[in-house]
Chains A and B, each alone.
Chain A
Amino acid sequence: AQKVTQAQTEISVVEKEDVTLDCVYETRDTTYYLFWYKQPPSGELVFLIRRNSFDEQNEISGRYSWNFQKSTSSFNFTITASQVVDSAVYFCALSEARNFNKFYFGSGTKLNVKP
């Protein structure tokens, strides 16, 4: 079974629109971590955020915000007022503490921001 599901394969928006990237995860562990990574065309994965399973507080960092809901096993990522530079593939990932911190990545969502 998929540990991390990103149902949106590709999203296209026009600059300045808001966009939300969905992530649903599956785990039986009580201690786990969730991540979002950005992969621009250059290919290198860039860390954006980490949340642990005990902290459901939403977080905002500039134009980025994250909504963590354990009740629905979701960890969604919203970009406000998108910019062309936001165009990239975004990956959600899960790490289970009991499993030696093995990482499970989703299949990614490609975001195209058009001028």
Chain B
Amino acid sequence: EAGVAQSPRYKIIEKRQSVAFWCNPISGHATLYWYQQILGQGPKLLIQFQNNGVVDDSQLPKDRFSAERLKGVDSTLKIQPAKLEDSAVYLCASVGAGQAYEQYFGPGTRLTVT
């Protein structure tokens, strides 16, 4: 079974530029999460999708961050414009039905904003 795929693995941009991250969850997993993990901290939930609907985006900075999950499969997370404090690892995770909420994480995208 293929795991959660994310791309790119690394990205360096200047502040005020835009960036997008892509996530392909495990096949059949209905729930998808995006997390932000700042160095030295635990992952912080940005947004949670159930199929292609948003369940929770209370911690998503909506003035600059957006996310979508078309057709309930792949998802993209966008930052526009980026700030220095957005430097972090962005993790995608998915959960399958009947798996008692066990999250499978992708390798993450390390973003550096200069």
Contacts and interface: CB of A to CB of B under 8 A. Distances in A.
Contacts, number: 59
Contacts of A46: 105
How many chain B residues sit at the interface, stated as a range, is 20 to 34
Contacts of A105: 42-44
A26 B108 CA distance: 28
Contacts of B89: 43
A14 interface: no
Interface string A75-110: 000000000000000010101000111111111100
Contact of B31 (A42, A44, A93, A101): A101
B91 A45 contact: yes
B88 to A, nearest CB: 12
Interface of B is mostly: strand
Interface in B16-71: 31, 33, 40-45, 48, 50, 55-56
A33 B101 contact: yes
A6 B91 CA distance: 21
A102 B46 CA distance: 11
Interface residues of A, number: 26
Nearest to B107: A44
List the 6 closest A-B pairs by CB distance, nearest first. A105-B42, A45-B105, A100-B55, A107-B42, A105-B43, A101-B101
Interface of B: 31, 33, 40-45, 48, 50, 55-56, 89, 91, 93, 95, 100-108, 110
Given A43-B110, A104-B45, 14 more contacts: A33-B100, A35-B102, A44-B105, A45-B43, A45-B93, A91-B42, A95-B101, A100-B55, A100-B56, A101-B95, A103-B45, A105-B42, A105-B43, A108-B42
